[in-house]
Structure 1
Amino acid sequence: MFPARRRLPLSGVLAGLFLLAPPAAVAAPTAEEIARSVHLRADWQYLTREIAWPATWKPDGKSFTYRKTVEGGFAFETADAATLAKAPAFDHARLAAALTSVMGRPVRPLDLPFAEFRYEGAGDAILFWTGEDGWRCTLVDYACAPQESRRRPRGFGVVRDLSVPADNTPRVSPDGRREALVEDDNLIVRAKGGGEAVRLSTDGSPGDFYDPETISWSPDGRHLMIYRVRPGYAREVLRVEAAPDGQIQPTLRRQLYPKPGDAVDIEQPVLFDVDTGRQTVVDNALFPNPYELSEPHWRPDGASVSFGYVARGFQSAKVIAVDAATGKAHAAVSETARTFVYADRRFAQEIGKSGEEMVWASERDGWNHLYLVDTRTGRVKNRITTGDWVVREVLKVDEAKRQIWFTASGMEAARGEDPYFRHAYRVDFDGRNLTPLTPGNGDHAVSLSPDAQFLVDTWSRVDMPTLGVLRRASDGSEVGTVTRGDISRLTAAGFGAPEVFKAKGRDGKTDIWGLVVRPRDYDPAKKYPVIENIYAGPHDSFVPKQFWPFGYHSGGDKVIGMQALADLGFIVVQIDGMGTANRSKAFHDVAWKNLQDSGFPDRILWHKAMAARDPAYDIGRVGIYGASAGGQSTLNALLFHGDFYKSGVAYAGCYDNRMDKISWNEQWLGWPVDQSYAAASGVDNAAKLKGDLFLIVGEQDSNVDPASTMQVADALIKADKDFDLLVVPGGEHSVGRSTGPIDYVTRRQFEFFVRTLQGK
């Protein structure tokens, strides 16, 4: 028999039903609400005042210049270091007019096409970049012109474009007596200005030529070094521009584009005694398999010359020194790694007239630190920095004072600070007198004056607008406030700072840091789908640490882009998992031959910790989006973690690392090309796709071969997998995210997530 049912009073039944009822659903956004989110950045970006960018010092060190937000846009301001008196850095209207004329498009005075620049000469001209283009503008007559390098282009720095002549301008010796150049692929020397040429080499040929752009004279003009070059493989990527402006027929575009495994230019250093004509081919036993050699650098006494060497596969780096009298080479310093030597953080500066010492950056103890090396033996004389923190940048090495100014992150973590926050420090060569220079719990961008007397400390957090402070570089004492950001109007418009959240990673002890952006009408009684903004490239970390929340960058949306998406009924997050940079070597090494990992074990644990903290966080509906390496990670989320991630928008992804540029991929996956490339491939693993996928690519992407996206599409079709695809005609790597049809592409992304995660 069944037991008798116990009757509940009606009030108890209703209470039980209430407790069992699911959280209220998020209302579907209207077309008007989607349009408002698409335009949120444009509506909000001019609401701040006095938000400043890092400063640039004038060459004389008496004043510095910075960009800041003003009514209607951005202006450049110069401050006097002695008085802090301020004035416009230049005539913005005249500069805008000059740029409008040469760029062929309107340029507004309060929206100049650059955020930072450097002064040239005495400060009467500035140099800046817009995208891949360099520009020079004078500040006297306001004449602007593009800066086209005379040097022969190189594909990702390792394969010369032989269709472009090398710059064979005669290189004049320091004593002014002679000049060197290349004739018929061989090195010649003659009297300055012309005269009878003396042929120093005869072994050059089109397939093994002397490169005039590598000529380097010794200080006394007696010796010179030059590289003889055996060309690598000139791979070209071909792209059809289907709808070029101003014409009906398509256009074929070509780009020199070396890929992983391709043969690179092999550079052989050759030393010449100009007086005797003696030629010494430097023995390459110490640098047998070069990915690249840096240009020759003569020590001040002229007795020796040095150059940097990175081995193919990035597991070894050295500085090679060559004796000018004998041509004998030795390793002034050597660095090896079981995984990779982090190429972006290599630092070497020789000290002394004979270069007998060197300040060298190394991760040999598991953290990036500075060492003083005896270059005659290659041995470490002493450590300069030490601890469970990382040196981020060397600002200045003062040889006379034997002091170093540098930035580091993680030193203040024991006091509760975010370990990614940068601070500036000064230390002696022997490691003593380590002096903090930038107090304040935040991320500090530092600009040191040329004479190292002052520094401009521009610092902030995602919840604190920028503060610009002039400090003494000796002890960090404050001279005065330069700028103080005002976000009152932005806050009044509805902006709220994201939540900073950390949770333990896969090892159960390492903190994984991220940001959480909620809808402005967030209701904790509702349940919100979650979307992760991902960029997991091993070359850096990507969760914002400074205040500026606008714009797009290579790591994906900044905070306002995430807010625009959140306002449609999502919780949007960004996380730095293991495999990214700026933590320990072990944290970084997770990426080695393992790009498919993308920190997902840490990211998923972080999501679960956040869901345990916030019941509105619907961990059953998680989407993801990212661009470039973030696009690859987005696809891999659906291939390898499709039980967790349900929907993804992948922009311009390097989905198969064998299809991408040589430099980035050999750094993290090594050389020769092996199974690790296939393991991370979205093409080889396409049949594993789960969930909803939207691929977006620019037809003219010059950063990642757009054929990579089409190969994924081909593999998905063969695997009978459904997906969405948008090809932007004429679109570059930005895919409409910073140029071109930004509103259209953004709307398509937003609508995709509304449809796939909200079912509306």
Structure 2
Amino acid sequence: MKKQQIKSDNDTLAARYQRAKTLIEDISKNHMVLNATLYPVWIKGSACFWYERKMWDSAATTNGAIKPGKQYRLVNAVSASNEIAFDHKQLANALEKAANKQVDPNDLPISAVAMTLNLSSSLPNNALQTIEAVRFTAFKKQWCFVTQTGVCSEISSIPKDWELSPDKKKAAFIKGHNIWVCDLEAQQDTQLTHDGEKDYAYGAMSTVWGRCNDVASAQVRWSPDSNKLFTLQRDTRKVLSLPIVHHVPADGGIRPQLEEIKVGYPGDEHAEQVRLLAIDVITGEIRPADYPQISATRNGYGFFSSQLGWWANDSQRAYFVDVARDYKMVQVVEFNTHTGATKVLLTEHSLTQINLMLGGDDYPTMRPLPETNELLWFSERSGWGHLYLYDLNTGTLKNTVTSGEWLVRNIAHFDQARREVFLQTAARDSTIDPYYRDLVRVNIDTSELITLTASNHDNVTIVQTEFSMGVARSYRDVSASCGIHPLGDFAVITQSRADEMPVSFLINRDGDKVMELEVADASALPSTWQWPEPVQLLAADGQTDIYGLVFRPSDFSPERSYPVISHGFNNPEIPWVGKGSFTNDVAGGWPTMDAAALAELGFIVVQIDGRGTVLRNKAFHDECYGSFQTASCIDDHVAGIRQLAQRFPYMDPDRVGITAHSSGGSGCIEGMLRYPEFFKVGVSSCVHDSRLMSAPMMAEKYEGLSGPKVEHSYAEERIDQLQGKLLLIHGMLDWCISPASTFRLVEALKKADKDFDMLLLPKLGHSHDPYVIRRTWDYFVAYLQGVSPQVWLG
């Protein structure tokens, strides 16, 4: 029996667009599902932590918009209690009086929160503890609220981008591209360097994308005795400039304005480098490391923020990690800050690329242990990502801490006293999704591994080094959050999967459940919400397991026939398929909600992480080596959709579209050109060309210094194969993926006399916006469903 094709009359289409809009708006608001991830902040010297609970029953109104209120909760892990942390109305009244501003107790306008306890030594284990003081930022000032007196007072603090010395008497900061030190007691500033300039800047953040890609902070590290600084001088003097034209200037001017940034492209003689040095704060002596300048490499964060440089406890020796520009070699180097002498302690080579972490937007997965002058080193030398313990006095390997056909995903905590490391691992259980994480603790000397929590779910504990936390920090006050108790006695877990509601709970160091903390509040989620379905498929090679998600519209009926959209991100550094639900997916909910919104318009949307992506073994990742654009192999997407169409007869294999976003945008073009008979419609937002990507970040990492492999060809060389409808979208201010990538395709399309559509946004950078999303929806509705999207606009 022939299935009825989905139809879209005016009213039906309008309703679908409205449902889709509701879902997509939640990406920025995160109001639809509350408390999907729990972010604990442990209070020093105790077994207590606080966290922020979102609540609809204390809703707040801002500028006429209703949003959930927030409540600060105090948890005592020993007594298993969960109480309100302090009197919110009392704090609101006190802050309102002190700041002369209106303050809503249901939505306290505070951030950078720190709490201290009122400890009572007479109580066993300090079991009944209360909050003594709350320090926070509000209205661009710092405050302290004392609960006993109910008084809120303004306090002074150093700027957040200053680096405080261990003795808390001095702070280093950057001014005029030079390093300064402030004596906090005498309130006196001293300039330590004098020859810094924009393109040769001391203590500077990495700008390998042409712009700073992290929270700005002084890239310096104090010696343990507070007398020296280990720092760098960023060198972009010979790096070529990239012009960015502001056709519609932000200042309201008419004449277009030119901005120039420094970016090294593949094959350029020069790319960003850093010179390493130490500065004696007492004498002002500068001691450069006797070592060549080193390449600034992935991940584009600060060198010291990424733990690529650190001190030994003797305040004389420092250490740094040197990754070669093509990522085929990495060295750990000792630096004698008294003499400038350097010594290579550890060298590792690869025929493809070396990864210091599995996720390209994570911070490196390693942990210096200065107390014992050791290093927990991450390596894929065995074909799987594992940890190795090195003696930094000799450079010798002391122990293979983890091993086997599974992965160390991140280091969550190190317990110095017990010499145990808490890890999130994956793929240890062959019967479940290999991307699902668990939590274990491992003795670094004996390699004894104890599982604390594991299930057929993604079990997440908060680790600041993960990309997902960078996303969370953009809209939540979570910079101080950590999932593991400072002494390793407890852990907070959020457990979810793409098709289940998240639950957060507390466990002890043996993995015993202490208490449930939160079940995500989905009261604002549409009653018609369709959970995505996790699927296991076979790659195009017929042997390799690959994994994905299938999204269906809320008015789904198996009796209908639906067009299909491949919703991808073909990038070798970042996974795309969500394993946890909502904010627990790879990018804070965006991939999940973007796909769910697209499905609401009457499509079956499929996400797949194909070969050539991260979070699997090295062979899986290396599938794309030599040709950046083959990441998340498009052959696997086609094979996966064909398998799904056989499994789900309501998927119409004759009406398939493809879309890809951001720096994963090449997948759409590759699909349209390599499978023109399969993909009928494509929307490519920010298509990339590896020749026009930052060399230190990705391009030379996956194609080497000599460029792509011989059989590689660029999309512009195969443009005559285009048959379907294609929409190209690019922001003209994109500093990450140059619009030149799209323009090269445009010129090739013109020469081949091919029809296509294009949308250029003169004020859009490397990001999405609602207009781009709506135009993407319209294009698929028009050309996969055959309906003019204008009918819903009225």
TM-score (norm 1): 0.78
Paired position in structure 1 for 2:563: 529
| Residue-by-residue CA offset, 1:662-682 (whole Å, 9 max, x unaligned) | 443236434436245994644
| Residue-by-residue CA offset, 1:18-43 (whole Å, 9 max, x unaligned) | x6xx4322213535235324423178
Paired position in structure 2 for 1:284: 291
Q: Which moved more, 1:374-383 or 1:52-61?
A: 52-61
Which residue identity lines up with residue 485 of structure 2 in the other structure?
S
Residue 65 of structure 2 is aligned to residue 63 of structure 1: no
Q: CA deviation at 1:210?
A: 7.2
| Residue-by-residue CA offset, 1:101-134 (whole Å, 9 max, x unaligned) | x9x9x999878999x9674999844589xxxxx9
Paired position in structure 1 for 2:656: 622
Q: CA deviation at 1:375?
A: 2.5
Residue 667 of structure 2 is aligned to residue 633 of structure 1: yes
Distance 1:216 1:646 in 2: 54
Paired position in structure 1 for 2:325: 312
2:408 to 391, 394, 401: 391
Distance 2:140 2:446 in 1: 41
Cα distance 1:758–1:481, how it changes in 2: closer, same or farther (>3 A)?
same
Q: CA deviation at 1:434?
A: 1.0
Residue 776 of structure 2 is aligned to residue 749 of structure 1: yes
Residue 84 of structure 2 is aligned to residue 87 of structure 1: yes
Distance 2:706 2:247 in 1: 33
Match of 1:588, SS state, is: helix
Paired position in structure 2 for 1:12: none
In the alignment, is the contact (CA less than 8 A) between 2:566 and 2:657 conserved in 1? yes
| Residue-by-residue CA offset, 1:679-716 (whole Å, 9 max, x unaligned) | 46444544443311112223333433334333332332
Q: CA deviation at 1:56?
A: 3.1
1:444 to 440, 455, 459: 459
Match of 2:424, SS state, is: strand
Paired position in structure 2 for 1:721: 754
Q: Which moved more, 1:85-94 or 1:503-512?
A: 85-94
| Residue-by-residue CA offset, 1:395-435 (whole Å, 9 max, x unaligned) | 112222111011111123x2x22111111110101243311
Q: CA deviation at 1:215?
A: 6.6
Residue 46 of structure 2 is aligned to residue 41 of structure 1: no
Match of 1:701, SS state, is: coil
Distance 1:582 1:265 in 2: 28
Distance 2:451 2:281 in 1: 50
Note the 1:221-620 alignment, pairs <5 A: 227=232, 231-244=236-249, 247=252, 249-252=254-257, 254-261=259-266, 262=268, 263-270=270-277, 282-284=289-291, 291=297, 296-323=309-336, 327-345=340-358, 346-351=364-369, 353=371, 355=373, 357-412=374-429, 414=430, 416-446=431-461, 447-472=483-508, 474-487=509-522, 490=525, 493-548=527-582, 557-598=590-631, 599-620=633-654
In the alignment, is the contact (CA less than 8 A) between 1:56 and 1:66 conserved in 2? no
Cα distance 1:683–1:109, how it changes in 2: closer, same or farther (>3 A)?
farther
In the alignment, is the contact (CA less than 8 A) between 1:236 and 1:258 conserved in 2? yes
Match of 1:169, SS state, is: strand
Paired position in structure 1 for 2:468: none
Which residue identity lines up with residue 32 of structure 1 in the other structure?
A
Paired position in structure 2 for 1:10: none
In the alignment, is the contact (CA less than 8 A) between 1:230 and 1:266 conserved in 2? yes
Match of 1:182, SS state, is: coil
Cα distance 1:519–1:170, how it changes in 2: closer, same or farther (>3 A)?
closer
Distance 2:330 2:644 in 1: 41
Q: CA deviation at 1:394?
A: 0.4
Q: CA deviation at 1:142?
A: 9.3
| Residue-by-residue CA offset, 1:117-160 (whole Å, 9 max, x unaligned) | 674999844589xxxxx988646459899978479xxxxxxxxx
Which residue identity lines up with residue 492 of structure 2 in the other structure?
V
Paired position in structure 2 for 1:170: 181
Distance 2:315 2:327 in 1: 30
Cα distance 1:451–1:244, how it changes in 2: closer, same or farther (>3 A)?
same
Cα distance 1:69–1:299, how it changes in 2: closer, same or farther (>3 A)?
same
TM-score (norm 2): 0.75
Which residue identity lines up with residue 442 of structure 1 in the other structure?
H
Match of 2:736, SS state, is: coil
Match of 1:407, SS state, is: strand
In the alignment, is the contact (CA less than 8 A) between 1:555 and 1:630 conserved in 2? no
In the alignment, is the contact (CA less than 8 A) between 1:332 and 1:374 conserved in 2? no
In the alignment, is the contact (CA less than 8 A) between 1:59 and 1:119 conserved in 2? no
Q: Which moved more, 1:228-237 or 1:333-342?
A: 228-237
Match of 2:453, SS state, is: coil
Distance 1:315 1:417 in 2: 33
In the alignment, is the contact (CA less than 8 A) between 1:314 and 1:670 conserved in 2? no
Match of 1:85, SS state, is: strand
In the alignment, is the contact (CA less than 8 A) between 1:304 and 1:354 conserved in 2? no
Match of 1:284, SS state, is: coil
Cα distance 1:629–1:372, how it changes in 2: closer, same or farther (>3 A)?
same
Match of 2:692, SS state, is: coil
Q: CA deviation at 1:372?
A: 1.0
Residue 12 of structure 2 is aligned to residue 28 of structure 1: no
In the alignment, is the contact (CA less than 8 A) between 2:549 and 2:608 conserved in 1? yes
Which residue identity lines up with residue 432 of structure 2 in the other structure?
E
Distance 1:120 1:59 in 2: 9
Distance 1:246 1:178 in 2: 35
Cα distance 1:276–1:92, how it changes in 2: closer, same or farther (>3 A)?
closer
Note the 1:621-700 alignment, pairs <5 A: 621-653=655-687, 655-666=688-699, 668-672=701-705, 674-675=707-708, 679=712, 681-700=714-733
**Paired positions, count:** 685
Cα distance 1:536–1:173, how it changes in 2: closer, same or farther (>3 A)?
same
Q: Which moved more, 1:393-402 or 1:708-717?
A: 708-717
Distance 1:629 1:85 in 2: 43
Distance 2:494 2:371 in 1: 36
Distance 1:35 1:142 in 2: 49
Cα distance 1:366–1:135, how it changes in 2: closer, same or farther (>3 A)?
farther
Distance 1:96 1:663 in 2: 51
Q: CA deviation at 1:567?
A: 3.1
Cα distance 1:424–1:325, how it changes in 2: closer, same or farther (>3 A)?
same
Distance 1:148 1:745 in 2: 35
In the alignment, is the contact (CA less than 8 A) between 1:48 and 1:69 conserved in 2? no
Match of 1:735, SS state, is: coil
Distance 1:88 1:42 in 2: 33
Distance 1:168 1:272 in 2: 10
- Structure 2 unaligned blocks of 5 or more: 58-66, 118-132, 146-151, 164-173, 205-217, 359-363, 462-482, 788-794
Which residue identity lines up with residue 438 of structure 2 in the other structure?
H
- Structure 1 unaligned blocks of 5 or more: 1-18, 129-133, 152-161, 186-204, 737-741
Which residue identity lines up with residue 757 of structure 1 in the other structure?
L
